[in-house]
Structure 1
Amino acid sequence: MDYLIVFVTTVAGLYFHGWLYVRIRRWMDRDLALSLAGKDEGKRTFMLEQLADARAQKVKRRDLPQWLEAAAAGYLAR
């Protein structure tokens, strides 16, 4: 019975840490997109859409800042 408790607790802890890691990465990506948008509400909406598009295209995380900066520059051209 003791092994079962240790196993369940360990699995629950690992799951929680994995969930927390994913949430923090998403928050950081969202914060990056919003920081590139500034205070312009239209651009904020645009950048969140671009972030969703980057996720759909499976842009690698290391390439995401450059990808979002290019998207932000494209908004300025409008």
Structure 2
Amino acid sequence: MDYFIVAITTVAGLYFHGWLYVRIKRWMDRDLALSLAGDSPAKREYMLQRLQEAQSTGIKRKALHIWLQQAAEHYNGQ
């Protein structure tokens, strides 16, 4: 019975840490996109759309900053 409790607690802890790690990565990516957008609400929406595009196309995290910077430079105030 003691091993069962330890196993369940360990699995729950590992799951929680994995979930937290994924959430923090998402928050960091979103914060990066919003920081490149500045104060313009239209540009913020544009950058969030570009972030979704980058995630759906499989842009790696190492290249994400450069990719988002280029997207911010190509923004023309739509």
TM-score by length of 1: 0.96
Give the 4+ runs in structure 1 shifted more than 3 A: none
Which ranges in structure 2 are unaligned for 5 or more consecutive residues?
none
The aligned counterpart of 1:31 is 31
Query: How many residue pairs are counted as aligned between the two chains?
Result: 78
RMSD, aligned α-carbons:
1.2
Q: For residues 23-64 of structure 1, give each alpha carbon's deviation from its aligned partner in whole angstroms, at most 9, with x where no partner exists.
A: 000000000000000000000000000000000001000000
1:4 aligned onto 2:4: yes
**What's the CA shift for 1:77?**
7.7
What code does the residue aligned with 1:16 have?
F
Which ranges in structure 1 are unaligned for 5 or more consecutive residues?
none
Give the fraction of aligned pairs with identical amino acids, expressed as a percent.
Answer: 62
